[in-house]
Amino acid sequence: MYGFLNVGSVSKTEWHPFTFTSGEEDDYIEFHFRKVGDWTGKVYNLLQSKADDRLPTGIKDPPRIKVEGPIGASSQGFSDYSTLLLVGAGIGITPMISVLKQLLVDPGKVKRCYFYWTVRDRDSFVWFTDLMDEIFEADKKNLLQIRHFLTSVKYDARDLGAVLLHHATRAHKRTNVDLLLGQQIHHQVEVGRPDWKEELESVREETTDSESNCGIFLCGPSKMADAVYEASVDVSKMNPGFHMYFSKETF
């Protein structure tokens, strides 16, 4: 779900769209943003000036924030599929967080959900470490399979170092300490860009129903969207009785 936010103490006239990461069952509204522009920079500095760890909210004298919404998202209808595949690139993880939370409360027809998150730099994983840990702990029925990819580390079969790193990160999945991040993490980070045809074919092979459908919901750059869509078409053509339906939001 989306909404428009207004922080009057920063600007009474500016409204900015953001994706809510809170689920429908939550009794609060949650959103995440990056400090990348004038408005987000001012909001960040405002909140930092009011930070106080001694308070339950962590904020003293919290600013008044107005919300316009919620507004429907491109991921609506996700619970209508027996197999679900969510793809988020960078900050494109935010709409997917909301979906994951809702799935754990009411999965609908979903029997299995695959979530892919790709980021360009190592520090980006810090954004949602705690939140992803909470989702992992809440997944009591093992509904989710979560994959993280660090795309700035390119895989090149001609580069011995890249080959060794690629295989080392995959072999290291047996532990709960990530080789790249050097810390405990529930979901191991893999290097390079996903081979989407290989990934989608793997999803199809793991689907036990003889006839099934798979909903793909993506939030990321158009180049990634094109790659995932083309792979979904190829896999659907190759496997009668199994069809992938694609929906996207690009930035």
Q: Are 91 and 67 in the same domain?
A: no
Mind giving me the DSSP string for 136-190?
HHH-TT--EEEEEEETTS---TT-HHHHHHHHHHHHGGGSSB-TTT-SB-SSPEE
Both tokens of residue 23?
A: 């689920």
Q: Which residues contact 131 (CB under 8 A, 6 or more apart)?
A: 21, 97
Q: Are 192 and 89 in the same domain?
A: yes
Helices (H) and strands (E) in the chain — how many of each? Answer: 6, 9
Q: Are 93 and 207 in the same domain?
A: yes
CATH number (domain holding residue 102): 3.40.50.80
Q: Are 128 and 241 in the same domain?
A: yes
Average pLDDT over residues 13-41: 86
> Does residue 56 have a cis peptide bond before it, meaning omega lies within 30 degrees of 0?
no
Among 53, 57, 55, 49, smallest CA distance to 10 is for 49
Tens-digit pLDDT profile for residues 124-182: 777 787 788 888 889 988 999 988 898 876 655 554 445 455 555 555 454 454 444 44
Q: Are 97 and 31 in the same domain?
A: no
Mark which of 32, 48, 71 sits at the end of a domain: 71
pLDDT at site 185: 52
Q: Are 89 and 211 in the same domain?
A: yes
Q: Are 125 and 13 in the same domain?
A: no
Tens-digit pLDDT profile for residues 35-87: 888 999 999 999 999 988 888 778 888 899 999 977 766 567 888 899 999 99
Q: Are 127 and 216 in the same domain?
A: yes
Phi, psi of 71, rounded to the nearest 5 degrees:
-120, 140
Q: Are 67 and 187 in the same domain?
A: no
pLDDT at site 184: 47
- Comparing 236 with 179, which gets the higher pLDDT? 236
Query: By residue range, what is the domain housing residue 64?
Result: 2-71
Mark which of 50, 71, 92 sits at the end of a domain: 71
Q: Are 82 and 42 in the same domain?
A: no
Mark which of 42, 71, 100 sits at the end of a domain: 71
Q: Are 47 and 20 in the same domain?
A: yes
Q: Are 179 and 112 in the same domain?
A: yes
